[in-house]
Amino acid sequence: MLIKNAKLRGKQGLWQILIQNGSFVEIAEQIAGNEEDVLDAGGKLVIPPYVEPHIHLDCVFTAGEPRWNESGTLFEGIELWAERKKMITIDDVKKRAKKAIQLQISQGIQFVRSHVDTTDPELTALKALLEVKKEVQEFVDLQLVAFPQEGILSFPRGSELLEQAVKLGADVVGAIPHYEFTREYGVESVKIAVALAEKYGKLVDIHCDEIDDPSSRFLETVAAEAQRLGLKERVSASHTTAMHSYNNPYAHKLFRLLQLAAINIISCPTENIHLQGRFDTFPKRRGMTRVKELVQSNINVAIAQDSIMDPWYPLGTNHPLRELDMCIHVCQMMGYGEIIRSLDLVTENGAKALRVEHEYGIEPGKPANLLILDAEDEFDAIRNLSCVLYSIRKGKVILKRIPAQTDMQRIS
210 is catalytic: yes
Contact present, 367 and 398 (Cβ < 8 Å): no
Looking at this protein, which amino acid is placed at residue 322?
Answer: R
- φ and ψ at 133, to 5 degrees? -55, -45
346, 305, 330, 392: which is closest to 9 by C-alpha?
Answer: 346
Coil, helix or strand for 96? helix
Write down the H helix ranges in 302-344: 320-330, 336-341
Q: Where is 146: in which H helix or E strand?
A: strand 141-147
59, 34, 43: which is closest to 4 by C-alpha?
Answer: 43
Distances (CA, A) of 206 to 84, 144, 356, 381: 23, 13, 19, 31
Distances (CA, A) of 46 to 5, 41, 107, 112: 10, 8, 14, 20
Q: Is 33 exposed, middle or buried (0-12, 13-18, 19+ CB in 10 A)?
A: middle
Which of 163, 180, 210, 271 is the catalytic position? 210
Contact present, 378 and 46 (Cβ < 8 Å): no
- By annotation, the residues acting in catalysis are 210
